[in-house]
Structure 1
Amino acid sequence: MAKERSIPAPLTNPETEPFWAAAREGRFLLRACTACGKAHWYPRAVCPFCMSEKTEWREASGRGTIYSVSVMKRAPEVYAVAYVTLEEGPTMMTNIVDCDFDALAIGQAVALTWRPTQGDGPPYPQFRPA
């Protein structure tokens, strides 16, 4: 079995700290605009669609589908980098884990899982086949 990649602890800032605090509790948050109604990824205070500052944190389902995927085979590591379109609308870059990498497919349903990061960092969102 391939060795799992070690993920560095993410850098936080005042805009993203609520996301990482929720991640420590096992909750997946998205930022959503109350002006245009669209959720967005990566979390930021200003809506990238309408530029409104009227955004809020919302709990996300943690479900999505693979939009694009590439399997990287670098001994001793094997990992999948993917774009996952979340049920709430945004598409995020992530990793697909706990799976047969050769069986991954565009359009496949996936579900959120949390992976530890180096040191005392918050867990990092990744996905596995649903």
Structure 2
Amino acid sequence: MSGPVRPVIGRDNAYFFEGTAKRELRIQSCNACGTLRHPPGPACPACDAYDRGHVVARGEGTVYSYTVVHAPKLPGKELPLVIALLDLPEGVRMVAEVTGVPPEGEDGLRIGERLVVDWNVIPPTGSGHRDEELTLPIWRRP
């Protein structure tokens, strides 16, 4: 495999990847009651409605927790890899790959630290059908 594992895009999350292609960080919303949720799903957990929409997030978050991945090797990724759980001001939590932060030491990531979204454009591998350019959010210090 020559690149990172590509996400499975389906009916419940296509809006998210359509947004990342436009450099928008989208959060699923319920058109019936306004509840936001991430990760997305088919029905609203608050009112059971299937009327889905989305809002565009500000693109900033606060580190709630994080881990440093040392193994196993991941296709298209260089280890160690910093993965954070971010609280977004919109009221949801999101798993985030963090770039430009040392995995350990004084300059490493800290709980409560503010991060901003950036974009990682992954070119097509040419190895499969429907293999297109993919843009994924990646988080960094401001």
Q: TM-score, normalised by structure 1?
A: 0.82
Instruction: Give the stretch that moved more between structures: 112-121 or 76-85.
Output: 112-121
Match 1:81 to one of 69, 80, 83: 83
Q: Are 1:91 and 2:88 an aligned pair? A: no
Deviations 1:76-107 (A, max 9, x none): 62111111111111111121112233320111
**Structure 2 CA distance, aligned partners of 1:72 and 1:100?**
12
Q: Are 1:104 and 2:106 an aligned pair? A: no
**Structure 1 CA distance, aligned partners of 2:119 and 2:81?**
15
* C-alpha RMSD of the superposition: 2.1
Structure 1, unmatched stretches of 5+, are: 1-5
- Code of the aligned partner of 1:83: L
Structure 2, unmatched stretches of 5+, are: 125-131
Q: Aligned pair count?
A: 125
Task: Report the secondary structure of 1:77's partner residue.
Answer: coil
Q: Decide which structure has the larger Cα Rg and report it.
A: 2
Q: Verify the 8 A CA contact 1:9 1:117 in the aligned structure 2.
A: no
| Percent identical | 22
Deviations 1:95-123 (A, max 9, x none): 11122333201111011112133623421
Q: More relative contact order in 1 or in 2 (CA 8 Å, sep 6+)?
A: 1
Instruction: Give the stretch that moved more between structures: 71-80 or 16-25.
Output: 71-80
Higher relative strand content = 1
Displaced runs of 4+ in structure 1, greater than 6 A?
Answer: none
**Structure 2 CA distance, aligned partners of 1:11 and 1:48?**
22
Q: CA deviation at 1:8?
A: 1.9
Q: Verify the 8 A CA contact 1:8 1:117 in the aligned structure 2.
A: no
**Structure 2 CA distance, aligned partners of 1:113 and 1:42?**
19
